[in-house]
């Protein structure tokens, strides 16, 4: 029976894992077992933080809208009253767009403020 040399698959698997952990510190970048564990944790954190990022942006949009609405001299109202008035007047702009208008195009945001009574 001929001799079978093994190890190429295991070596390939190890190389792929270590390639993904390039830049990690200590044994997590050089030792297969530690690298595999580090990758598992990194994957879990990245999944969770992708969700958190969406919440963070929504909070930021709310803060930007509130700051501009309260800074307006004519109608000094709160964020929640502003959003409520938008819904009553059937102005369908999401918070992302409103925050962008407040930051980059204050004249347009001013016109929206004037439309709500």
In a domain, 80, yes or no: yes
Residue 3 domain-assigned (yes or no): no
Comparing CA positions, the residue from 43, 41, 115 lying closest to residue 82 is: 115
Inside any domain, residue 102: yes
Neighbouring residues of 69: CB distance < 8 A, sequence distance ≥ 6: 75, 77, 78, 79, 82, 102, 113
* Segment 40-52, tens digit of pLDDT: 999 999 999 999 9
- pLDDT tens digits, 51-110: 999 999 999 999 999 999 999 876 678 899 999 999 999 999 999 999 999 999 999 999
Q: What CATH number should be reported for the domain holding residue 24?
A: 1.10.1900.20
Determine the angle formed by the axes of helices 32-71 and 106-115, rounding to 10 degrees: 60
78 lies in a domain? yes
Q: Is residue 1 part of a domain?
A: no
Domain that holds residue 25: 8-115
Instruction: State pTM to two decimals.
Output: 0.69
How many structural domains comprise the chain?
Answer: 1
In a domain, 93, yes or no: yes
Q: Look at residue 2 and tell me if it is in a domain.
A: no
Per the structure block, which two tokens stand in for 95?
Answer: 């918070």
Dihedral sign, Cα of residue 75, residue 76, residue 81, residue 87: positive
């Amino acid at each position: 029976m001929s001799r079978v040399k093994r190890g190429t698959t295991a070596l390939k698997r190890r190389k792929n894992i270590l390639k993904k952990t390039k830049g990690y510190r200590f044994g997590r970048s050089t030792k297969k077992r530690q690298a595999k564990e580090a990758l598992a944790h990194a994957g879990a954190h990245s999944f969770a933080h992708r969700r958190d990022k969406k919440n963070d942006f929504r909070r930021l949009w709310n803060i930007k809208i509130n700051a501009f609405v309260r800074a307006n001299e004519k109608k000094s109202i709160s964020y929640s009253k502003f959003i409520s008035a938008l819904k009553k007047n059937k102005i369908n702009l999401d918070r992302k767009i409103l925050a962008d208008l407040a930051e980059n195009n204050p004249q347009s945001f001013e016109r929206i403020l004037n439309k709500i009574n």
